[in-house]
């Protein structure tokens, strides 16, 4: 049996992977080994540091529940999520830009009729959201499914609420003209969950955990690429330093206050409200190479 050295160990592991039947898995495995070994060569961790690294990843996994996805937070705060987004985003310049999914998406949100109030009684400035969904040829996407979720005016999501009621989250179906509408409240900037290992990492790196105020959208329509994006609130103090690097200029919208008597029919308001009107454009499904 031959002795392995720091020079030969990488090659030995790569040879062990040579028989991996799935070519994509083989490529990924080989790249992982090469980059991991190069990382270790560069960092030259002590035994204690390597043990701390294992403990950190273990605690990230142990922090995960249905409502708390610490690995997504880790991916987001290291910029990895946005890198994956950049690689996979449709190249169609007519399409609305995408951004991170974030850790608070639920794939089974309550369904609502258009025009529904989804604030769950949370205090805040009423926000009327009126959207239209088009494809990149300008065709209206009637029947498109729109998932919306956001923080409340204190910056908290429903899934962070110990009472566990669902609010400020819902699924809407566009009408025949590709339009959807709802009433929520103006969201607030918020700190990503920072009471776990990712929070400790940010503190050790002297980074703040805040995200600028935004509303999440995930839109699907047959024949189009699905779109996962946010609309950010113009003027937010964290637009230039989002903890997860998710801000894109084209996704920032002004939400000026309107007088109550301007509110569309269907809701009586006694206080000013904000109004977000936005067109979302879905790219075509990419051709398989």
| Measured distance CA(245)–CA(72) in Å, rounded | 13
Total of residues contacting Fe ion (CB under 5 A): 1
Toward Fe ion, which CB reaches closer, 90 or 102?
102
With respect to Fe ion, which residue has the nearer C-beta, 102 or 131?
Answer: 102
CB of 228 to Fe ion, least distance (A): 12
Cβ 101 to Fe ion, closest distance in Å?
9
Query: Nearest approach, Cβ of 104 to Fe ion (angstroms)?
Result: 6
Nearest approach in angstroms of CB 5 to Fe ion is 48
Q: Is 209 in the site for Fe ion (CB under 5 A)?
A: no
Distance of CA 151 to the CA centre of its chain: 13
Residue nearer to Fe ion on the CB measure, 116 or 159: 159
| Cβ nearer to Fe ion, comparing 33 with 82 | 82
Taking the complex as a whole, the smallest distance from the CB of residue 186 to Fe ion amounts, in Å, to: 14
Q: Which is nearer to Fe ion, 119 or 135 (CB)?
A: 119
In the complex, minimum distance from the CB of residue 160 to Fe ion, in angstroms, rounded to a whole number = 11
In whole angstroms, how close is the CB of 216 to Fe ion at the nearest point?
6
25-44 residues in contact with Fe ion (CB under 5 A) are: none
Q: Which is nearer to Fe ion, 178 or 187 (CB)?
A: 187
Q: SS3 string of the chain?
A: CCCCCCCCHHHHHHHHCCCCCCHHHHHHHHHHHHHHHHHHHHHCCCHHHHHHHHHHHHHHHHCCCCCCCHHHHHHHHCCHHHHHHHHHCCCCCCCCCCCCCCCCCCCCCCECCCCEECCCCCCCCEEEEEEEEEECCCCECCCCEEEEEECCCCCCCHHHCCCCCCCCEEEEECCCCCEEEEEEECCCCEECCCCCHHHHHHHHCCCCCEECCEEEEEEECCCECCEEEEEEECCCCCCCCCCCCCCCHHHEECCCEECHHHCCCCCCCCCCEEEEEEEEEECECCCCC
Which residues between 53 and 112 bind Fe ion (CB under 5 A)? 102
* CA-based nearest residue to 74, from 86, 85, 59, 89: 59
Q: Closest CB to Fe ion belongs to which residue?
A: 102
Closer by beta carbon to Fe ion, 10 or else 151: 151
Q: Are 180 and 263 in contact (CB under 8 A)?
A: no
Residues near Fe ion (CB under 5 A) are 102
């Amino acid at each position: 049996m031959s002795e392995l050295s720091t020079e030969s160990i990488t090659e030995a592991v790569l040879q062990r992977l040579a028989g991996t039947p799935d070519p994509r898995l083989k490529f990924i495995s080989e790249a992982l080994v090469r980059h991991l070994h190069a990382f270790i060569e560069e960092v030259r961790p002590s035994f204690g540091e390597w043990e701390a690294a294992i403990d950190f990843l273990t605690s990230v996994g142990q922090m995960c529940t249905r409502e708390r996805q610490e690995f997504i937070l880790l991916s987001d705060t290291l910029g990895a999520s946005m890198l994956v987004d950049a690689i996979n985003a449709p190249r169609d310049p007519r399409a609305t830009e995408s951004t991170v999914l974030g850790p608070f998406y639920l794939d089974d949100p309550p369904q609502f009729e258009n025009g529904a109030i989804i604030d769950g009684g949370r205090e805040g400035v009423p926000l009327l959201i009126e959207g239209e969904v088009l494809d990149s040829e300008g065709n209206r996407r009637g029947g498109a499914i729109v998932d919306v979720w956001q923080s409340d005016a204190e910056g908290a999501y429903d899934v962070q609420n110990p009472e566990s009621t669902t609010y400020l989250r819902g699924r809407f179906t566009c009408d025949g003209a590709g339009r959807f509408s709802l009433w929520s409240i103006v969201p607030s900037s918020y700190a990503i969950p920072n009471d776990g290992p990712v929070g400790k990492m940010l503190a050790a790196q002297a980074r703040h955990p805040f995200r600028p105020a935004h509303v999440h959208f995930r839109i699907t329509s047959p024949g189009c690429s699905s779109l996962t994006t946010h609309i950010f609130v113009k003027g937010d103090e964290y637009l230039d330093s989002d903890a997860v690097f998710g801000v894109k200029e084209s996704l920032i919208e002004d939400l000026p206050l309107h007088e109550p008597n301007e509110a569309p029919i269907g809701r009586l308001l006694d206080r000013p409200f904000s109004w977000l009107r936005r067109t979302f454009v879905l790219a075509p499904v990419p051709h398989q190479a």
